[in-house]
Amino acid sequence: MEYLVRGDLCFSIDAAHIETKEDAYLHVKDGKCIATYENVSAELSSLEIKDYRGNLILPGMVDLHLHAPQYAYRGTKMDLPLLDWLNINTFPEEAKYENVDYAKAAYENFVEDLKESPTTRAVIFATLHKDATLCLMDLLEKTGLNTMVGKVNMDRNSPDYLTEHSAEESLKNTVNWLEEIPQDYQHCHPILTPRFTPTCSDALMEGLGKLMRERNLPLQSHLSENKAEIEWVKELCPDAKNYGDSYDRYGLLNRTVMAHCVHTEEEELELLMQRGTFICHCPQSNTNLQSGVSPVKHFLKRGAKLGLGTDVAGGANLSMFRAMTDAIQASKLRNCLLEEKDSALNMEEAFYMATLSGGQFFGKVGSFLPGYDADILVFERKRKGVRKETLLERLEMLLYTEKELFDLKAKFVQGRRIL
């Protein structure tokens, strides 16, 4: 499978630069990006050209953190802080996924919308229910999106109606879930998913660490989201050096994405950087649930591994473009209100986080640089404007206006068209 994609290319080359190539060609072979060209050489002139002249061509967006079962109630009870929101909104809703018919109906809506969104890669929380999680994975596998999905582990400090009653039960459910995932899945893969330290006993964490190493699995969880949560972790784990250490002491940070890190201080950041842990910034969720604004500009400058997440349903929107502008906007308010100089993110940095930077959790993903997976989005402007815009201006308009001005016309994952 080899072809050229013609159009207006925009892709990150590093945190500070978006490469823009007007009316250029992206060469794709066997699902990988080979090169970009201004013109087609004689040698390549026999290749199929997918002609999207005049359209914006971007790498697929990488959503490093969202909760599939929360999609059904996104945008409700947004005026509660995190721990109340979990108890009042989230836990009763997640309990419904014990019923696989309910789960299927809800997950069908979620998966359909994710497929039609700018996201090509996602790292997803399900619930603690094995069968509902398998159902979600089945639906996702069929989309062609490249995803990681986790059955949640939680064995303490959870309501009776939504808990596993021991570490053993939780680990056994997890192994059963892993065994039942069809061997022939190409696109949807498991990721271990302890909900967060408050709901996971030491024995459970230890067992998940073993499972992670035995089966060579990645892991996702939450870290340092909210001050009340952090205080709670201090009480629960008096021996841990910091919240991050409550995972690290069981070896859980080594192939891991940790959502939030709103209140991560230097010692915890050092630990995450040593372990190569990905920090997933979830700006809208951190705003809605009044957690704060993560110091992402600082993380970027320090060279931490970093991605962006919608965190549905702490965030109400599935769009990674919205996540980008939310990240820029939240960072600007951090800058103004804390009078921190230079903590505002710009478009280049937000775009980098949503593509090339977050994409590394999946491998060489998130750019059109040679050797990267060919995850491609094609956007057509709905109505021509009265102004002549630069390519970078058009990209910025897309991020801020989304479907108001642009239609997602085609979507490719690893070179295969899925939309």
Query: Which positions lie near a copy of itself, rule CB under 8 A?
Result: 72-79, 93, 102, 105-106, 109, 113, 284, 287-288, 290-293, 316-318, 325, 328-330, 332-338, 344, 346-347, 383, 385-387, 389, 393, 396-401, 403-404
Nearer to a copy of itself, 98 or 206 (CB): 98
Of 172, 245, 240, 196, residue with least CA distance to 67? 196
Q: Which residues of 101-120 are buried (b: 16+ CB within 10 A; e: fewer)?
A: eebbebbeebbeebbebbbb
What are the structure tokens assigned to 203, written together?
């024995």
Least Å distance, CB 108 to a copy of itself, is 9
Contact 263, 224 (CB under 8 A): yes
Q: Is the peptide bond before 313 cis (omega within 30 degrees of 0)?
A: yes
Rounded to whole angstroms, how far apart are CA atoms 11 and 19? Answer: 5
Nearer to a copy of itself, 191 or 399 (CB): 399
DSSP state, residue 403: G
Cα distance between the two ends of the chain: 17
Q: Given phi > 0 = left and psi -120 to 50 = alpha, else beta, which region is 221? A: beta
Whose tokens are 């930077």? That residue is 357
Rounded to whole angstroms, how far apart are CA atoms 410 and 293? Answer: 34
CA distances (Å), 290 to each of 26, 42, 124, in order?
42, 58, 22
Nearer to a copy of itself, 312 or 374 (CB): 312
Rounded to whole angstroms, how far apart are CA atoms 40 and 100? Answer: 52
Least Å distance, CB 166 to a copy of itself, is 31
Number of H helices, E strands in the chain: 15, 17
Nearer to a copy of itself, 28 or 95 (CB): 95
Least Å distance, CB 321 to a copy of itself, is 10
Least Å distance, CB 392 to a copy of itself, is 9
Nearer to a copy of itself, 109 or 176 (CB): 109
Least Å distance, CB 168 to a copy of itself, is 32
Least Å distance, CB 191 to a copy of itself, is 25
DSSP state, residue 356: I
Rounded to whole angstroms, how far apart are CA atoms 190 and 175? Answer: 11
Least Å distance, CB 385 to a copy of itself, is 6
Least Å distance, CB 157 to a copy of itself, is 24
CA-based torsion, 246, 234, 174, 188: positive or negative: negative
Rounded to whole angstroms, how far apart are CA atoms 230 and 264? Answer: 10
Rounded to whole angstroms, how far apart are CA atoms 312 and 317? Answer: 6
Of 74, 93, 86, 211, residue with least CA distance to 150? 211
The stretches of 11-149 forming alpha helices (DSSP H) are 82-85, 91-95, 100-115, 130-143
Least Å distance, CB 72 to a copy of itself, is 5
Nearer to a copy of itself, 117 or 170 (CB): 117
What are the structure tokens assigned to 210, written together?
């073993």
Contact 335, 344 (CB under 8 A): yes
Nearer to a copy of itself, 71 or 372 (CB): 71
Least Å distance, CB 390 to a copy of itself, is 9
Contact 304, 284 (CB under 8 A): no
Nearer to a copy of itself, 174 or 291 (CB): 291
Measured in whole angstroms, the distance separating CA 326 from the mean position of its chain's CA atoms is: 14
Nearer to a copy of itself, 27 or 334 (CB): 334
Least Å distance, CB 78 to a copy of itself, is 6
Nearer to a copy of itself, 75 or 363 (CB): 75
Nearer to a copy of itself, 175 or 338 (CB): 338
